[in-house]
Amino acid sequence: MKVLSKWSNTIMERYLPDPYVFVTILTLLVFALGVGLTDSSPLDMVVHWGDGFWGLLSFTMQMVVVLVAGYVLAISPVFKKLLSTLANLAKSPGSAILLVSFVSLLACWINWGFGLVIGALFAKEIAKKVTTVDYRLLIAGAYSGFIIWHGGLAGSIPLSIATADHPFAGIMGVVPTSETIFSTYNIIIVIALIITVPLLNRLMMPKPADTFSIDPKLLEDEVEVEVEEIKDKITPADRLENSVLLSMLIGALGLVYLVQHFATNGFDLNLNIVNLIFFILGIIFHGTPKQFLAAIATAVKTAGGIIFQFPFYAGIMGMMVTSGLAGVMSEWFVSISTVATFPLFAFYSAGLVNFFVPSGGGQWAVQAPIMLDAAQSLGVSYSKTAMAIAWGDAWTNMIQPFWALPALAIAGLRAKDIMGYCVFVLLLSGVVISIGLFFF
């Protein structure tokens, strides 16, 4: 594994472009495929791209907030101390890789937004303690936990079909999570990945001579607070900006809302609630409005990649969906499926479509009509069909820079720095998920 991962990293470092260049190439590829495989003309594809360009604007803002708010929370004195204490559990490079991978998998199973941010921030904290660990592999280990998200508590497809009046309720009815997230085959897949992914990451740990270490001083996130000149009198504005009471009152307001939300809705940890938790705890832990705003100014520097790349993926999604290209891909896999192989091919088709439409909800909207109709014809379970698509959506995220952007922004790395490792996580998880869907 050391030799293979070294070779893979060399290939990625040489040939994988910046994520922005990658998404532009992907845009042109989808444009060409749409013209060649559907009835859309070149002008039609241009219109589909332009109409879809802002389709993920709301989601883009959510992702910016989860990154910035999570970062603000992580660099607060209280949370930094907590992460530092947990990081002390890692005593060697090998244990550091195992610990980061396991924590990230667990966090992403609970909630993908939470896991993406916490995994990368925890990896940075461990890198400060275990200076001989390979920093690229450590961050790759943090990102590898994302493979599990759609089989977890925040999986958008299983949660959607468990909701009354969901878009496809007329076809499949309401499917309880006992048949999806908590089904036997899904639990087996989740447990197998939790065991095997950290071990795989540990096996890929390079030799000392090939280790990419980083100076711990470069990982410090200093919150710069403007130092004002001493004045004879402190103004009312100064008092408000440095008021701990003001922060605590806003924090209390948020905490009361969160208690009410969970008391009313159960464990509904959606992305907006995750963002609110990050924000409220950040406000409380930073103590004063001035300190909190200084932390925001530090954190917002990491969000540039998301802001300017997500619209391009929305444009790709517009071309894939409106032209019917995503449907063409799905129908091809359906055409070669049997009763036994249909869940596998649904999984593979979802993995392919996800490469161009990296959105669980968007992908389900595109593939569900085709896949559910095929499942009915073949007599395959609707719930297993939905989970096969869900796992396919999560699977190819391992080589799709789209979802790696938050972790890369936090870590200060490039996609090419970690994707060589992620290729092997893709291969391993593909085997594990295939076995789970086929034999159980």
pLDDT of residue 175: 92
Distances from the Cα of 8 to the Cαs of 1, 98, 135, 138, 393, in angstroms?
10, 21, 16, 16, 23
CB 296 within 8 A of CB 72: yes
CA 291 and chain centroid, separation? 28
pLDDT of residue 223: 56
d(CA 18, CA 10) in angstroms, rounded, equals 15
d(CA 141, CA 353) in angstroms, rounded, equals 24
Residue 230 lies in a domain: no
pLDDT of residue 434: 97
pLDDT of residue 222: 56
d(CA 375, CA 389) in angstroms, rounded, equals 12
Give the gyration radius of the chain's Cα atoms: 23
pLDDT of residue 70: 81
d(CA 111, CA 148) in angstroms, rounded, equals 10
d(CA 23, CA 49) in angstroms, rounded, equals 13
Q: Which of 356, 300, 352 is nearest to 329 (CA)?
A: 352
pLDDT of residue 13: 86
Cα diameter, the chain: 82
pLDDT of residue 375: 93
CA 365, 405, 350: angle at the middle one, nearest 5? 30
Range of the domain at 369: 2-221+236-439
Whose structure tokens read 């593979």?
348
pLDDT of residue 365: 81
Residue 227 lies in a domain: no
Q: Which two tokens stand for residue 125?
A: 């904290």
CB 337 within 8 A of CB 374: yes
CA 41, 42, 46: angle at the middle one, nearest 5? 115
pLDDT of residue 24: 93
Residue 229 lies in a domain: no
Question: Running along the chain, 440 residues long, what does each successive block of 10 average in pLDDT?
Answer: 88 86 92 95 96 86 82 84 90 96 93 84 92 95 95 88 88 93 96 98 92 79 51 77 94 96 83 86 94 89 79 90 89 90 94 82 83 92 96 93 83 91 96 95
pLDDT of residue 233: 67
How many residues does the structure list for the chain?
440
pTM: 0.85
Burial of 51 (0-12, 13-18, 19+ CB in 10 A): middle
Q: Beta strands of 208-268 (E only): which ranges?
A: none
Residue 199 lies in a domain: yes
d(CA 234, CA 232) in angstroms, rounded, equals 7
- Classify the C-alpha dihedral 113-117-122-123 as positive or negative: positive
pLDDT of residue 224: 52
- Domains: count for the chain: 1
